[in-house]
Amino acid sequence: MARKKIALIGAGQIGGTLAHLVALKELGDVVLFDIVDGVPQGKALDLAQSGPVEGYNSTLKGTSEYADIAGADVVIVTAGVPRKPGMSRDDLLEINLKVMEQVGAGISKYAPDAFVICITNPLDAMVWALQKFSGLPKNKVVGMAGVLDSARFRHFIADELNVSVEDVTAFVMGGHGDTMVPLARYSTVAGIPLPDMVKMGWMSKEKLDQIIQRTRDGGAEIVGLLKTGSAFYAPAASAIEMAESYLKDKKRILPCAAYLSGEFGVKDMYVGVPIVIGEGGAEKIVEIELNGAEKKDFETSVASVEGLMDACKKIAPKLA
């Protein structure tokens, strides 16, 4: 059986970490692509040289040629630029939309059968644009956000309660931004929903609310600490969990930015919802029931993603 091939578009902080994780977990061979000549080649060589020490057999190739991603089973996209001081949201959108157009063309030409995971921000708008630019089936293009946001939520809860992260589950829905919707009712400690943990006196309602807000601000907290970049270890680990579920047909239920065609009352857009990931890509949307307040928060989040999409359509009319 041929080895799986994982193409990573963008060899920056997240791209390099993704390559390392793919190799450590021996998910397949890696092609690391970037437009900056030398960086993907250098990182691939450095990682290949840790193979003898770690004992992994993945081959790693760095490239600036799209032809090298030919036949990839999974493509993970981190290409783009981060928002810099003085740059407006629309400036960022314009630059990253152009990047999505190039990346979409490359994937469509060389890896049209791949499962594509987008990480580039602003996530929900970028994954939507990437699907349109690539023309790949909607169930084969998803965005990574919910796994990361849920992991942050899980970490904060476990840390607060002094219990193992393994026993904490969490669901964060909606767009990947300030309006994301951490769902306390669907987040549990050893199966016990968080509101019940509050009733049991393990945590105050105020503390839970603080943790929910800290989860929403999770990305900004790390940017504030790092000062010169954004989070990369947890984003990479989260995308790998999604890729692994696809490659091994695990059928994990993971919150991801997925294309909705009427589910949750939302049509023709990407937003964070729980989905089943298996060999068919995004195989099923898990349409959980939302109560009044949750629904309202979700709708606010959807509206904010729609605002981003409208701004994209103004910049790139062919997306309309």
Instruction: Give me the least distance between CB of 34 and ligand APR, in Å please.
Output: 5
312 CB neighbour count, 10 Å cutoff:
24
Taking CB under 6 A as the criterion, the residue among 13, 58, 63, 187 binding ligand APR is 13
3-state SS track over 109-138: HHCCCCEEEECCCCHHHHHHHHHHHHCCCH
- Residues in contact with ligand APR, shown as a per-residue x/- string from 15 to 34 under the rule CB under 6 A: x------------------x
Annotated ligand binding at 59? The verdict is no
Q: Is 11 annotated as a binding residue?
A: yes
- Chain residues 32-51 in contact with ligand APR, contact rule CB under 6 A: 34-36, 39
Backbone angles phi, psi at 251, to 5 degrees: 60, 40
In the bound state, the residue with its beta carbon closest to ligand APR is 12
Site for ligand APR in 182-241 (CB under 6 A): 229-230, 232, 235
Q: Which of 307, 248, 214 is nearest to 4 (CA)?
A: 248
Is 214 annotated in some ligand binding site?
Answer: no
Q: Give dist(CA 150, CA 108) in Å, integer.
A: 31
Q: Which is nearer to ligand APR, 79 or 151 (CB)?
A: 79
SS3 state at 34: coil
Give the span between the Cα atoms of 319 and 242, in whole angstroms: 27
* Residue that the structure tokens 């250098």 belong to: 42
Q: Which of 211, 232, 236 is nearest to 223 (CA)?
A: 232
CA distance 79 to 191: 38
- Site map 84..103 versus ligand APR, x via CB under 6 A: ---------------x--xx
What's the sign of the alpha-carbon dihedral 245, 248, 250, 251?
positive
Pick 28 or 143: Cβ nearer ligand APR: 143
Q: Which of 29, 176, 202, 219 is catalytic?
A: 176
109-138 binders of ligand APR (CB under 6 A): 119-121
Lookup: tokens for 31: 């092609």
Q: 28 or 218: whose CB is closer to ligand APR?
A: 218
What is the size of the binding site for ligand APR (CB under 6 A)? Answer: 26
Residue closer to ligand APR (CB basis): 107 or 197: 107
Is 176 a catalytic site residue?
Answer: yes
- Catalytic residue numbers read 176
Where on the chain is the footprint of ligand APR (CB under 6 A)?
9-15, 34-36, 39, 78-82, 99, 102-103, 119-121, 229-230, 232, 235
